[in-house]
Amino acid sequence: MTKQGRYKQSGEQSKKHVHVSENGHTGNKSGCPISKKCGGCQYIDKSYAEQLKIKTDQVKKLLAPYGSVDEIIGMKEPYHYRNKVNAAFQHKRNGEILAGVYEEGTHRVLSVDDCKIENRLAQEIVETIRGLLRSFKITVYNEDSGYGLLRHVMIRTGHATGEVMVVLVTASPIFPSKKNFAKALVKAHPQITTIVQNINDKDTSMVLGERNQVLYGRGFIEDKLCGKTFKISPTSFYQVNPVQTELLYNKAMEYANLTGEEVVVDAYCGTGTIGIVASDHAKQVIGVELNKAAAKDAITNVKRNECKNVRIYDGDAGKFMVGMAEAGTDVDVVFLDPPRSGSTPEFFDSVCKLAPKRIVYISCGPESLARDLKYLKSKRMYQVEKIALVDLFPWTEHCETVVLLSQRKADDYVEVELELDELDVTSAESKATYAEIKDYVLKEHGLKVSNLYISQVKRKCGIEVGENYNLPKSEDSRQPQCPEEKEKAIKDALEHFGMI
Ligand code: SAH
């Protein structure tokens, strides 16, 4: 996962922030004064149309052997989509406090005026906090010396609900006049619905520590995706671009084509979003997720949405599928949405044993997707039907791909050893098969003849045989020629069957 992608909050590194200004003070092409130092937006110098073309071309190139790619689903307003904003703070020598992002690979904070992709209200709240620090005598943490209280601020917003969570990450649990600080913040921004103090007293570059203390409100926010409600706590994973996430999930649902009768697997389910969205249209949904905290959130979300037909398991998706295959579970549709590194042969081997009708593969890593499709193709059981692209991360190089695979008909993939002559179905040949000719010759003449001899005689008699039928594999290869006695017997058979 990347800074734009789906890393988990608790594992998120504090260096990975993305702030971009639109003001263009520096005269660089992007109009973002810190784009080079921040490094979050790789395509900041390109127009949005150019970005979409580059992403499409990259995926088309990688997936060309598997199928054609539909037109990319771009974002109508590709700005301020990030529902999660992190800020670091630093004292300047003159006593002024900076709020912004770390310059890549350093502990220097870059001040951020405005950012092209982050939620605007969140940026305003960061600015308000910066202003309040001095009056509340709150010191900011120094990563090098380890002194100071406020390490980071994380703000998460619910796009559909309008709820706002502010997480104040402190180096110590002792936070003088914290309730008053929270009050002052809410007064300045009444949209804030909850404030949480997160204590991170470790020498780490991770943003969040393990302990949370609620200072105001419920300690979490909720948001809606595709009509379902999801709980977002400080550490929960949640897609950063909810507008495009809905389009991504809608595409996945369209591909799954559920009728209400299906048993569905949501592998790598995170907080259960895909499975919960699918649950209204399926008989049963089985979600599996490795990260225990995410699986717990998924269970909460299942209850929150009163989904009686969804069960969540925590564990490795590959091993879980092995178990399902051993148990002979009936599965109709498999969604998989693995991390950037993709899935495993173990997973796909078991999917092939479970033999669902459709597989819907959602990927944020086109390279690993191409690798996995190659593996699946080698099993000759599924074929790619459709490929869609959804841009969840404008201004960056990242993109989501959805692939629909359907099970091939048994005849298409069961490896049947056909002798070439059996494929030789010309009009004359259709009158008697090679087997019938052989039977006749054996019965009437007491001779065993091969397919090769029959074809040689047929050719001599001017009967068309399949184009490649029994032709020598190379110019100088020699084939045995049909002896005279057998030739006579075969001719008799051809006459008998009315072929000459
Ligand atoms: N489908 C979810 C989350 C996708 S992110 C959504 O759209 O929000 C990928 C998820 O795969 C993460 O939650 C990660 O914790 C999980 N994961 C990573 N490796 C895994 C494994 N081996 N087995 C199961 N889940 C895994």
Q: List, for residues 339-373, the tens digit of each pLDDT value.
A: 999 999 999 999 999 999 999 999 999 999 999 99
Tell me what the mean pLDDT of segment 330-336 comes to: 98
Cα-flanking dihedrals φ and ψ of residue 133, to 5°? -55, -45
Give distance in angstroms: CA of 298 to centre of ligand 1.
Answer: 11
**Whole-angstrom distance, CA of residue 111 vs CA of residue 90:** 9
Q: Which of the following is catalytic: 115, 364, 399, 482?
A: 364
Residue 325 included in any domain: yes
Give distance in angstroms: CA of 84 to centre of ligand 1.
Answer: 19
Residue 1 included in any domain: no
Residues contacting ligand 1 via CB (< 6 Å): 6, 237, 239, 268-270, 273-274, 288-291, 294, 316-317, 337-339
Among 362, 379, 408, residue at a domain's last position:
408
Q: Is the pLDDT of residue 289 over 50?
A: yes
Q: Which CATH number covers residue 367?
A: 3.40.50.150
Q: Say what the pLDDT of residue 412 is.
A: 60
Distances (CA, A) of 423 to 409, 417, 458, 461: 19, 11, 15, 20
Q: Domain total for the chain?
A: 3
Q: Say what the pLDDT of residue 430 is.
A: 52
Q: Tens of pLDDT along 403-441?
A: 999 999 766 655 444 444 444 444 444 577 888 899 899
**Whole-angstrom distance, CA of residue 91 vs CA of residue 45:** 31
Residue 4 included in any domain: no
Residue to probe by mutation, ligand 1, list 249, 268, 400, most atoms within 8 Å of CB: 268
Give distance in angstroms: CA of 265 to centre of ligand 1.
Answer: 13
Q: Say what the pLDDT of residue 466 is.
A: 55
Instruction: Looking at the CA of residue 269, tell me the nearest atom of ligand 1.
Output: 1
- If asked whether residues 269 and 376 sit together in one domain, one would say yes
Q: Is the pLDDT of residue 7 over 80?
A: no
- If asked whether residues 195 and 93 sit together in one domain, one would say yes
Q: Is the pLDDT of residue 477 over 80?
A: no
Dig out the tokens for 170 from the structure: 């402190």
Give distance in angstroms: CA of 312 to centre of ligand 1.
Answer: 13
- If asked whether residues 215 and 236 sit together in one domain, one would say no
- If asked whether residues 448 and 402 sit together in one domain, one would say no
- If asked whether residues 249 and 144 sit together in one domain, one would say no
Residue 285 included in any domain: yes
Q: Tens of pLDDT along 127-148?
A: 999 999 999 999 999 888 889 9
Q: Say what the pLDDT of residue 472 is.
A: 40
Q: Say what the pLDDT of residue 9 is.
A: 33
Q: Say what the pLDDT of residue 22 is.
A: 33
Q: Is the pLDDT of residue 500 over 60?
A: yes
Q: Say what the pLDDT of residue 269 is.
A: 97
Residue 343 included in any domain: yes
* Rg of the chain on CA atoms, in Å: 32
- If asked whether residues 240 and 267 sit together in one domain, one would say yes
Tell me what the mean pLDDT of segment 210-215 comes to: 96
- If asked whether residues 394 and 479 sit together in one domain, one would say no
Give distance in angstroms: CA of 483 to centre of ligand 1.
Answer: 68
The answer to whether 326 is annotated as binding is: no
The answer to whether 337 is annotated as binding is: yes
**Looking at per-residue confidence, does 74 or 497 come out higher?**
74
The answer to whether 481 is annotated as binding is: no
Residue 68 included in any domain: no
- If asked whether residues 350 and 390 sit together in one domain, one would say yes
The answer to whether 268 is annotated as binding is: yes
Among 163, 188, 219, residue at a domain's last position:
219
Q: Say what the pLDDT of residue 464 is.
A: 65
**Whole-angstrom distance, CA of residue 53 vs CA of residue 296:** 39
Q: Say what the pLDDT of residue 416 is.
A: 43
Instruction: Looking at the CA of residue 239, tell me the nearest atom of ligand 1.
Output: 8
Hey, is 192 helix, strand or coil? strand
Residue 259 included in any domain: yes
Give distance in angstroms: CA of 362 to centre of ligand 1.
Answer: 11
Q: Which CATH number covers residue 142?
A: 2.40.50.1070
**Whole-angstrom distance, CA of residue 20 vs CA of residue 6:** 20
Give distance in angstroms: CA of 289 to centre of ligand 1.
Answer: 6
- Exposure on the CB side of residue 323, measured as CA atoms within 13 A: 9
How crowded is residue 474: how many other Cβ atoms within 10 Å of its Cβ? 6
Going by CA atoms, what residue is nearest to atom 8 of ligand 1? 270
Residue 43 included in any domain: no
How crowded is residue 479: how many other Cβ atoms within 10 Å of its Cβ? 11
Among 174, 192, 219, residue at a domain's last position:
219
- If asked whether residues 311 and 435 sit together in one domain, one would say no
Q: Is the pLDDT of residue 185 over 60?
A: yes
- If asked whether residues 241 and 361 sit together in one domain, one would say yes
Going by CA atoms, what residue is nearest to atom 15 of ligand 1? 291
**Whole-angstrom distance, CA of residue 20 vs CA of residue 40:** 8
**Domain range enclosing 154:** 82-219
- If asked whether residues 105 and 154 sit together in one domain, one would say yes
- If asked whether residues 254 and 369 sit together in one domain, one would say yes
User: For all residues of the chain together, what is the average pLDDT?
Assistant: 87
**Looking at per-residue confidence, does 39 or 185 come out higher?**
185
Res. 479 pLDDT band, cuts 50 70 90: low
Q: Is the pLDDT of residue 470 over 90?
A: no
Is 364 noted as a catalytic residue in this protein? yes
Residue to probe by mutation, ligand 1, list 226, 230, 288, 290, most atoms within 8 Å of CB: 290
Tell me what the mean pLDDT of segment 39-63 comes to: 94
